[in-house]
Chains A and B, each alone.
Chain A
Amino acid sequence: MPKSTIISDEDFQKFREFFYRKTGMLFEDSKRYFVDKRLLERMTATGCESFRTYFTMLRFQASGAELQTLINAMTVNETYFFREEYQFRCLVDSILKEIITHHPASRPIRIWSVPSSSGEEPYGIAMYLLEHWPQLEHWDVEIISSDIDTRILEQARAGLYASRAIQHVPAPLLKKYFRRMGAQYQISQTLREAVEFTRVNVHDTADMRSHRHFDVIFCRNLLIYFDDLSRKKTAESFFDALNPGGFICLGHSESMSRISPLFQIRRFPEAIVYQKPLEAR
């Protein structure tokens, strides 16, 4: 390997600060090997012979395409049931507890999960509510889940999963909510009928305008893939999709504070989430 393709400590520092500013993802020194490996892979793929050349492209490329590719390479994009489960605990132990203090009893509590991917998140929320939120006896809850990809929406509606997707589902819940179908598991009909799946392009104002009056939005690991302006525009649409006092939950590496000042930060014991002020209109 030519000397110029080695990533020096100074290069790593420079990259780490830049990447943090752009994405909110901070790599500790212990991740050095992982980061170097991904960077060297991308340098090879783009024909850049030195870190400086690659970093200049990353930093100044007008389309931002390489930065996007690198973000994809640096993130683990895997969906499975109960991913980042602490947010579900936050939902039942903190968020809903607060919402029901001001929510009209005559109206259902509405939860929006976007992107739906193949349904693991919305079905996971439904299971979590049934298992861990006794107040469900007194409240109606609607779960809407959306994705831009119509094929993935069909998969979500079918609710069929490989064993990898259900690896974190406790055995009693697996028995209660899934049916074995050969090598796959199908989520119960009751849950499939409880979640409404819709197609939404979050960049499309008309699509977003048609989704409203939510109390909680789960939007995890989606905004990370947008450029800053699109991220801000989407966050502002979510603001209007929420009821006053509604909450939005982002992925663990995402921060609304870096996207838009419209929301208040709420630090609950289980998670940090973001709230549309109760007095907002």
Chain B
Amino acid sequence: MALKKGQPTPPSHSPGERQDARNLETLLQTLLDEDPSKRRWAARDLAEHPAATGALVSRLRRETDATVLQVIVTALGCLANDEAIRGLIDCLYSENAMLRNTAIEVLKELPDPVAPHMGELLHDADPDVRIFAVNVLESLRHPQVEAWLVEVILKDEHINVCATAVDLLGEVGGPQSRDALAALKQRFPEEPYIQFAADLALKRIGVE
């Protein structure tokens, strides 16, 4: 036995596997296959078919295999049309933490498609969803990020939402955030964490 020159795919393995046509119709059928590895491959290839967005979102709601869910979320992120973004936002309401966190990571990468939904998310009735929306802002490359965060610390009544936002303002905030940070300290005078985090953010923003 020894080092042998190989091929990208060994011919001895499962002859004929994944040799099916990769057209939209076949891929949509494969997305329902019993074998999760086939569903994963179908979801990955469907990322190149905007017409498959609805089917991917629909599968996302019923899929039970965690590995397939991950690939569907990534595929929706690649498609990034409004239907895909709504499908990803739906994941923020999921009880499945892994799915939720993956959707957050993907949404962070899509500033322009996500921006039109951010106002609604930051006013969601569920404070957890508002926190997830702030988590999305963490790496969102969008010029409105600071303004959204300022609005949160000025108006949101939930301390955990404000605490998440103020942490981030320490990084992205500029001089225009100073008044809002001072106001936040006054809104939560008995909350040591808010006092600490707002002071830290003010220090980091500094004096220009």
Residues of A within 8 A of B (CB): 8, 10, 13-14, 17-18, 21-22, 52, 56, 59-62, 64, 107-108, 110, 126, 129-130, 136-144, 146, 191, 193-196, 198, 200, 205-206, 209-213, 227-229, 232-233, 236-237, 239-240, 260-262, 280-281
Residue in B41, B44, B141 whose CB lies within 8 Å of A59? B141
Tell yes or no: B9 within 8 A of A by CB.
yes
B112: interface (CB < 8 Å): yes
Expressed in whole angstroms, the minimum distance between the Cβ of B207 and any Cβ of chain A is 11
Question: Contact: A212 with B13, CB < 8 Å?
Answer: yes
CB of B130 within 8 Å of the partner chain: no
Give bound CA distance, A52 to B172, whole Å. 9
Chain A positions within 8 Å of B18 at CB level: 209
The one of B8, B13, B40, B70 in contact with A261, judged by C-beta atoms closer than 8 angstroms, is B70
User: Which single residue of chain B is at the shortest CB-CB distance from A56?
Assistant: B174
8 residue pairs of the A-B complex, CB under 8 angstroms, read: A8-B206, A13-B204, A14-B204, A129-B3, A205-B47, A212-B9, A229-B74, A240-B44
- Which one of B3, B71, B138, B142 has the highest number of Cβ atoms from chain A below 10 Å of its Cβ? B3
The answer, yes or no, to whether B67 is at the interface (CB within 8 Å) is: yes
Partner of A236, one of B44, B139, B174, B203: B44
* Distance, CA A140 to CA B5, complexed state (A): 10
**Chain A nearest Cβ from B64, distance in angstroms:** 13
Question: Quick one: which of A108, A136, A229, A237 contacts B44, CB cutoff 8 A?
Answer: A237
Q: Total A-B pairs in contact (CB under 8 Å)? A: 139
The answer to whether B48 has its CB under 8 Å from any CB of chain A is: yes
Instruction: Identify the interface centre among A129, A142, A198, A213: most chain B CB within 10 Å of its CB.
Output: A213
Once the chains bind, are A62 and B111 in contact (CB under 8 Å)?
Answer: yes
**3 A-B pairs closest in CB distance:** A142-B6, A194-B3, A211-B8
Kindly state whether residue B1 has any CB partner on chain A within 8 Å. Answer: yes
A233 touches B78 (CB 8 A): yes
The CA of A198 and the CA of B7, in the complex, are separated in Å by 9
Question: In the assembled complex, which residues on chain A have CB atoms less than 8 Å from the CB atom of B142?
Answer: 60
- CB–CB A10/B204 < 8 A: yes
Measured CB to CB, the nearest residue on chain A to B138 is A21
* Min distance, Cβ B100 to any Cβ of chain A, angstroms: 12
CB-CB < 8 A to B174: which residues of A? 52, 56
Interface size on B, residues (CB 8 A): 54
Contact of A22 among B7, B139, B143, B170 (CB under 8 A): B139
Q: Chain A contacts of B98 at CB under 8 A?
A: 261
Q: Knowing A136-B1, A240-B41, A261-B102 are in contact, say whether A61-B10 is a contact too (CB < 8 A).
A: no
Instruction: Report if A140-B4 is in contact (Cβ < 8 Å); known contacts: A205-B45, A240-B41, A260-B70.
Output: yes
For B109, the chain A residues whose CB sits under 8 A away are 227-229
Is B4 a contact of A194 with CB atoms below 8 Å?
yes
Indicate whether B160 reaches chain A with its CB closer than 8 angstroms.
no
A10 and B203 contact, Cβ closer than 8 Å, known pairs A140-B4, A212-B8, A229-B74: yes
Contact (Cβ within 8 A) A140 B206: no
Chain B positions within 8 Å of A110 at CB level: 6, 10
- Separation in Å of the B135 CB from the closest CB of chain A? 12
Knowing A136-B1, A229-B77, say if A236 contacts B71 (CB, 8 Å). yes
CB of B145 within 8 Å of the partner chain: yes
B97 (CB) vs chain A CBs: closest residue: A261
- B145 and A60: CB pair below 8 A? yes
Nearest-neighbor residue (CB-CB) of A135 within chain B:
B1
Tell me if B185 counts as interface (CB < 8 A to partner A): no
State the CA gap A22–B109 with chains docked (Å).
Answer: 11
Of B5, B35, B204, which one neighbours A196 at CB under 8 angstroms?
Answer: B5
Q: Are A232 and B74 in contact (CB under 8 A)?
A: yes
- Chain B's closest residue to A144 (CB) is B6
Give the residue of B4, B10, B71, B141 whose beta carbon is less than 8 angstroms from that of A141.
Answer: B4
